[in-house]
Amino acid sequence: MILRPRSCRRVDGSAPCAASLVHRDLRSERLVGLRMGLRLEDKWIWDSWFVQDGDATHVFFLQAPRSLADPDLRHRNATFGHAVSTDLTLWTLLPDPLTRSVPGSWDDLATWTGSIIRADDTWHLLYTGVSTRDAGLIQRIGLATSRDLVHWERFGDQPVIEADPTWYELLDLDAWDGQAWRDPWVIADPAGNGYHALVTARMRSGPPDSRGVIGHAVSADLRRWTVLPPFPSPAGFGQLEVPQVIQVGASTLLVFCTAGHHLSAARRHALEREPGTGTYICRVEGMLGPFDIPESTPLVAYTDLYAGKIVRRGDDWFLMGFIDTVEGEFVGELSDPIPFDPIVDLPPAASLPAVGSGSSRG
């Protein structure tokens, strides 16, 4: 499939982005060709999340200066970027949504991945924050609000959701490289009873390489949250990053991403090939799960785009994510939209029903 080159522009009409022609073979495990999509000349882009407002699609994304040279430093220097499009290909940059917090705040080091939902004519952004006080090792979730998706205000001066040690692993550097409590994906309750947040988290016990779960919190108003036990989750992952659950036609899909080296030994053993780093897509029973898939069930990445999201545009669906590493070089660009139809495109290995699979992690 050949995707035409695209570009982006700033509100003032200048063009800080460049895009090139890329060939993308969804059935392979490689990006073939040159770079593509939303590219900032002075910043890397990685995790993103999308919001539809009328005819416009807004993308919010993590960004950090390319002048850092070492892409591993980007996480401690991450801020939010924002762009808008009417076709998912030509993007206009908008002002950054949030400025850095004042020193000493719970999110004064960096702000990480979140999601946005509208309620009572107000947009609510749940996002991840880390602090200098904790050396960036402890992740918490905060809230910001907006009337227009452009001007944002933090809600209070404290996080709104924190990991509960009743069920979740706190900071344990012998088990993991930080306290995982991030990437909130917020949805309205299907029965109309408030809201749910799906969170990248880890169980408090078990083999360290398979403690990854999708954490769970609920709220009636998006401001006050109660942490619950994790959802029954795919087994055999050290972490399940940037989760998304979404209804696409008749299919309910769980989307998450992980690195190949974050699969457990048992899950690696179940595969007949090297585990993929990228985005995984699984059919599930409903918007609130269960999401459990046993370690013994082979499961491979659907695409090597990382932090992939399924995005709707009119009656059509697309997959978008960031281009991570190609031939040993970190790219840090948002992909062009890739048409997606779960009936046609979802390979059998990634189409596993989670109903009654008997690997509840809750």
Number of C-beta neighbours around residue 126 at 10 A: 28
What's the CA gap between 321 and 334, in Å, rounded?
Answer: 6
- Look at residue 275 in the predicted model and tell me its pLDDT: 80
Buried b (16+ CB within 10 A) or exposed e, 34-65: ebbbbbbeebbbbbbbbbeeeeebbbbbbbbe
- Look at residue 349 in the predicted model and tell me its pLDDT: 40
Higher pLDDT, 359 or 224: 224
Share of the chain above pLDDT 70, in %: 86
pLDDT beyond 80 at 31: no
Question: What is the rounded average pLDDT of the residues 251-256?
Answer: 95
Q: Per-residue confidence at 276, pLDDT binned at 50, 70, 90? A: confident
pLDDT beyond 90 at 65: yes
Task: Look at 3-17, 91-105, 236-250, 312-326 and tell me which has the smallest mean pLDDT.
Answer: 3-17
pLDDT beyond 90 at 348: no
pLDDT beyond 60 at 20: no
Strands 91-94 and 8-10, bridge-based pairing: parallel
pLDDT beyond 90 at 298: no
Q: Where are the alpha helices (DSSP H) in the chain?
A: 265-270, 342-345
Q: Per-residue confidence at 24, pLDDT binned at 50, 70, 90? A: very low
What's the CA gap between 231 and 180, in Å, rounded?
Answer: 15
- Look at residue 343 in the predicted model and tell me its pLDDT: 81
What's the CA gap between 151 and 89, in Å, rounded?
Answer: 24
- Look at residue 140 in the predicted model and tell me its pLDDT: 98
Question: What is the rounded average pLDDT of the residues 211-219?
Answer: 98
What's the CA gap between 185 and 200, in Å, rounded?
Answer: 9
Higher pLDDT, 360 or 174: 174
Task: Look at 16-30, 113-127, 175-189 and tell me which has the smallest mean pLDDT.
Answer: 16-30
pLDDT beyond 70 at 316: yes
Q: Per-residue confidence at 99, pLDDT binned at 50, 70, 90? A: confident
- Look at residue 347 in the predicted model and tell me its pLDDT: 54
Question: How far is CA 353 from each of CA 39, 234, 251, rounded to the nearest angstrom?
Answer: 36, 11, 11
- Look at residue 36 in the predicted model and tell me its pLDDT: 61
pLDDT beyond 90 at 151: yes
- Look at residue 56 in the predicted model and tell me its pLDDT: 97
Q: Per-residue confidence at 16, pLDDT binned at 50, 70, 90? A: very low
Predicted TM-score (pTM) of the model is: 0.88
pLDDT digits (tens, 9 = 90+) for 41-53: 999 999 999 999 9
- Look at residue 117 in the predicted model and tell me its pLDDT: 98
- Look at residue 274 in the predicted model and tell me its pLDDT: 79
pLDDT beyond 90 at 358: no
Question: What is the rounded average pLDDT of the residues 233-261?
Answer: 95
| Tokens found for residue 70 | 């070492």
